[in-house]
Chains A and B, each alone.
Chain A
Amino acid sequence: MTDLMTHTDVEARGLIERYVARRLLGEELERFEAHLIECPACQGDVRLGVAVAAMFRTRRRPRWHLPALAGLATAAGLLLFLRPSADRRMVALGAVGDPPAYEVVEVRGDELQRGDSLFLAAIQAYRRREWEAAAQGFEEARTAGLTAPALEFFAGATALMRGRTETADRAFAALLATDHGPYAEEARYYQAKARLRLGDGRGALSLLRASSFPAAAPLADSIEALLSR
């Protein structure tokens, strides 16, 4: 059993990049970490990659010119005086304790397509709350040709649980744009959660008022209460 990892493997498979972005999983992750702990060059590249990723994380926040910033700071101070921590509370409403449950659907026929098998494996990871494995599994199912509202919904839910809020927001929006089936009401609710995390209370409210998902109404009431303060 020889599984020496070479620097060609590291380069060709983008292992450092995926490690930094936490997209390296399972056996591949274990093999890379075994290589990493005795490779100072890879350790240096991981630190460099982390520094690069941090720059892009920071740059997603908008930049302001100083005079505009001063004016905004005054206005924000006044608003905060009138509505202490309202934004923070709004964002906190976007927290998700338990992930949406997957109800078992009986599959007819003896043979599962490859995409179905990958989807079910990803769902197992999802149930174990192994979010990275689940995300990769859903992506593989999609690559294998599976198209199903359930796939898009649980890929969005997984992104939400991983803290990939913008990805989750896009996934639910895409699902709602094309599907009006059994996942639509729940997708509106969880997209609202994503909108809340992004600080968009009004967007969240609009989604929730259009959803018949049982938890939507009380959450909408909480948002309205915050908005009216």
Chain B
Amino acid sequence: MTSPLAPGPAPDRDEPLDPERLESLRPGLELLALRALGDRELAREATQEAIARAVAAGARGTRIAAGRLAAFVAGIARHVVADLRRSRARTPTVDLDTLPLPSSGPDPLEQLVDRSQADEVRRALDRLPSADRELLRLCFYEGLTPGEIAAHLNEPAERIRKRKSRALERLRAAFGDTPGHAAPGGPTEGAEEG
């Protein structure tokens, strides 16, 4: 028995697995895959497979609630990455003398930063006041939240956020990449919907 007041299926609130929309997620998916796999070629392979699986799901008629598409595709990507890691783990090569220690290796995502960008960031960091450099170290190297840093430095969290924002703006200008979050506060999932 269905109540006439109960909400029925609302196809207009679903989001189709449109190939063009999926393609727009490719750079972000590659970033995720590279972080997990550490190898650019493998990351591209994983991304291609994730998009192909999502397209196939769309062809089978799978529909995703509005705003959930990115989460759905990211979930597929995680499965693909897990499969690839498992298949790689089946052929282990362990040699104590050549075993890289985790602390000695760079972050796989450093492959996304080219030499000139790294040099610009280094110069911009050197131009910052030492207190701001320390703040960025606590942020990106230690991974502390603004609240944790505020407690650590015994300063109000709001002041920490402002200092961090200002320092990052200078680095963004040097990095020559995307402009960052110019208008914080708006929801981003589904932001590309018409």
Which residues of A approach B to under 8 Å, CB–CB? 2, 4-8, 10-14, 17-18, 20-23, 30-31, 33-57, 85, 88-89, 91-92, 94-95, 162-165, 197
Residue-by-residue, is B106-149 near A (CB-CB < 8 Å gives 1, otherwise 0)? 11011011000110011001000000000011011111111110
Minimum CB–CB distance from A94 to chain B (whole Å) comes to 7
CA–CA, A34 to B72, complex, Å?
A: 8
Minimum CB–CB distance from A110 to chain B (whole Å) comes to 34
User: Is there an interface contact between B101 and A95, defined as CB atoms closer than 8 Å?
Assistant: yes
What are the 4 A-B residue pairs with the smallest beta carbon separation, nearest first? A21-B143, A163-B102, A44-B178, A37-B28
Contact residues in B for A45 (Cβ distance below 8 Å)? 168, 172, 178, 180-181
* CB-contact partner of A6 in B70, B145, B186, under 8 A: B186
User: Is there an interface contact between A14 and B107, defined as CB atoms closer than 8 Å?
Assistant: no
B39 within 8 A of A: no
CA–CA, A7 to B168, complex, Å?
A: 15
Minimum CB–CB distance from A112 to chain B (whole Å) comes to 26
Minimum CB–CB distance from B139 to chain A (whole Å) comes to 4
Which residues of B approach A to under 8 Å, CB–CB? 24-25, 27-29, 31-32, 67, 70-71, 73-75, 77-78, 96-97, 99, 101-107, 109-110, 112-113, 117-118, 121-122, 125, 136-137, 139-148, 161, 168, 171-172, 175, 177-192
Contact residues in A for B142 (Cβ distance below 8 Å)? 21
User: Is there an interface contact between B145 and A4, defined as CB atoms closer than 8 Å?
Assistant: no
User: Is there an interface contact between B113 and A7, defined as CB atoms closer than 8 Å?
Assistant: no
User: Is there an interface contact between B188 and A38, defined as CB atoms closer than 8 Å?
Assistant: yes
CA–CA, A94 to B24, complex, Å?
A: 45
Contact residues in B for A31 (Cβ distance below 8 Å)? 71
Minimum CB–CB distance from A210 to chain B (whole Å) comes to 24
Minimum CB–CB distance from A189 to chain B (whole Å) comes to 17
* CB-contact partner of B70 in A7, A35, A53, under 8 A: A35
User: Is there an interface contact between B113 and A51, defined as CB atoms closer than 8 Å?
Assistant: yes
* CB-contact partner of A43 in B113, B136, B178, B183, under 8 A: B178
User: Is there an interface contact between A163 and B143, defined as CB atoms closer than 8 Å?
Assistant: no
- Max chain B CB contacts within 10 Å: which of A5, A31, A51, A163? A51
* CB-contact partner of B71 in A21, A30, A56, under 8 A: A30
CA–CA, A162 to B104, complex, Å?
A: 11
CA–CA, A8 to B161, complex, Å?
A: 11
Contact residues in B for A4 (Cβ distance below 8 Å)? 67, 187-190
Contact residues in A for B24 (Cβ distance below 8 Å)? 38
User: Is there an interface contact between B103 and A7, defined as CB atoms closer than 8 Å?
Assistant: no
- Max chain B CB contacts within 10 Å: which of A55, A57, A92? A55
